Amino acid sequence: MLRKVTEATAIAILATLAVAGPVVDAHKGKTVLSRPNIQPFPHNSGRAKPHSPPRTKACPVTALGGGKDDAPHLLSAFHKCNNGGTVVLDEDYTIATALDLTFLNSVDVALSGSITFKPDIDYWTANAFQYDFQISRAFWKIGGKDVNFFGGGVGVINGSGQPWWDAFAANSSLLRPISLVLDGLHGGSISGIHMVSPPNWFNLIANSSDVIVSDMVLTAKSSSANPVKNSDGWDTYRSDHIVIQNSNIDNTDDCVSFKPNSTNIVVQGLSCNGSHGISVGSLGQYLGQYDIVENVYVYNNTMSNASDAARIKVWPGIQSVFQPTLSGGGGSGYVKNVTYEKFESINNDWAIEVNQCYGQSNQTLCDLYPSNMTISDIYFIDMWGTTSKKYDPKVGTLVCSSPQQCYDIYAKNISVTSPTGKSEWVCSNFDTSGLEGFDCVPS
């Protein structure tokens, strides 16, 4: 909700903060945002949303302008408004240096302006925050407890991805930052923000719990001949009780991906276009590590013009080189109790893909070294729509390493057709008796 606040009324409104909880901007006549009451709906992750008390102080930040670095002033405002305040970002800000905001406690961020990351590739290559998992990088990271970051449908986070995509076309080993990383956030929400042009993934939710993401718009479009690369909408990693809902995503990679140790996750009400699906994985990438994805509910989503709609991908039992910055295999663990329900497929190459040989094109090697990841208790319910002509008449592929590593897979009320009106499914190396109405053909 947008609200006009003047200095004459600020004191009176501040007095009501403990009850009503609006955001107040000390700038005369500025339009400011009130924290929305974001609730998981219709499904939650298995436990109630944590209580977030009203904030009692406001810290507006004046942008320097001209592309100058606002990171130091932003950091100062977060320290000032920590423990019960709202950082008000109603101007256009530039972040040109790495920003660590993992110390937050009971803080709101009201973004009615924009945040743009300066595309200084040399600086970020040397100074971005580093994560061992898939050698990820980050411009900034937000963590702590009870943090609400909201944009009211007008706030923008711009990753300035175009120079990065152009540079990546010439150097496929370039390590590009993620636009927003939640790292160690316990209790909080992200909502109402338009994110554009991420150099790499849009979002990573890592080492976090009890987070709701809602009413987001994610857009990745290249203005040159060089394509957008790896623009995952959200990746969850070592995180529990996460809800992602009611958002529109136009990208070129996974719409949502559940990375290792993602548990009790709900994804609902998304409209995804041009992606690689709502995906479990990839998993089993690192030898000696045990990956878990368990209790995931993907409900009432639409996938258009993508490689896949519903997707589960795990590495084989042998090291494999997939891309210059992506290789792996041989890790172990399991995927269990994952449900895709009410899923519309529009012109996707596969409506469903289960792949226990991710990253390895040599099927003989996959047969010799089956995946160490077990896939079980998987449900595909009420899926409809169309596939592209790419694999016509086939509409899905479920290829496992062995029946011992892949079992209890069920499908019901699936009415997806290819352009010729046929619906063949590639099925192998598991008991297919739970796939109601599937016309299975060997791989």
**Predicted pLDDT of residue 326:** 76
**Residue-range domain boundaries for the chain:** 254-443
Which tens digits make up the pLDDT trace of 146-185? 999 999 999 999 999 999 999 999 999 999 999 999 999 9
Average the pLDDT over each of 1-10, 56-65, 384-393, 430-439 and give the range with the smallest value.
1-10
Which tens digits make up the pLDDT trace of 353-365? 999 988 777 777 7
Which tens digits make up the pLDDT trace of 185-194? 999 999 999 9
Among the options 250, 253, 254, 308, which is catalytic? 253
Average pLDDT over residues 276-304: 96
Among the options 276, 291, 308, 349, which is catalytic? 276
Q: Is 0.75 surpassed by the pTM of this model?
A: yes
443 falls in which pLDDT band (50, 70, 90)? Answer: confident
Burial of 409 (0-12, 13-18, 19+ CB in 10 A): buried
Catalytic residue flag (residue 276): yes
Give CA angle at 435 (432, 437), nearest 5°: 120
**Predicted pLDDT of residue 291:** 97
Average pLDDT over residues 56-79: 97
**Beta pairing, strands 424-428 & 439-441:** parallel
Fold of 254-443: Pectate Lyase C-like (2.160.20)
Is the backbone of residue 18 left (phi > 0), alpha (psi -120 to 50) or beta?
A: alpha
13 falls in which pLDDT band (50, 70, 90)? Answer: very low
**Predicted pLDDT of residue 155:** 98
Which tens digits make up the pLDDT trace of 242-270? 999 999 999 999 999 999 999 999 999 99
Catalytic residue flag (residue 232): no
Q: Is 127 helix (H, G, I), strand (E, B) or coil?
A: helix
**Predicted pLDDT of residue 340:** 98
Which tens digits make up the pLDDT trace of 294-353? 999 999 999 999 999 999 999 888 777 777 777 788 899 999 999 999 999 999 999 999
Which tens digits make up the pLDDT trace of 208-243? 999 999 999 999 999 999 999 999 999 999 999 999
Average pLDDT over residues 190-202: 98
Q: 111-137 in b/e burial notation, b at 16+ Cβ within 10 A?
A: bbbbbbbbbebeebeeebbebeebebb
Q: Is 20 helix (H, G, I), strand (E, B) or coil?
A: helix
30 falls in which pLDDT band (50, 70, 90)? Answer: low
Q: In the structure encoding, which two tokens stand for residue 106, read together?
A: 């009971």
- d(C-alpha 283, C-alpha 334), whole Å: 9
Mean pLDDT over each residue of the chain, to the nearest integer = 92
9 falls in which pLDDT band (50, 70, 90)? Answer: very low
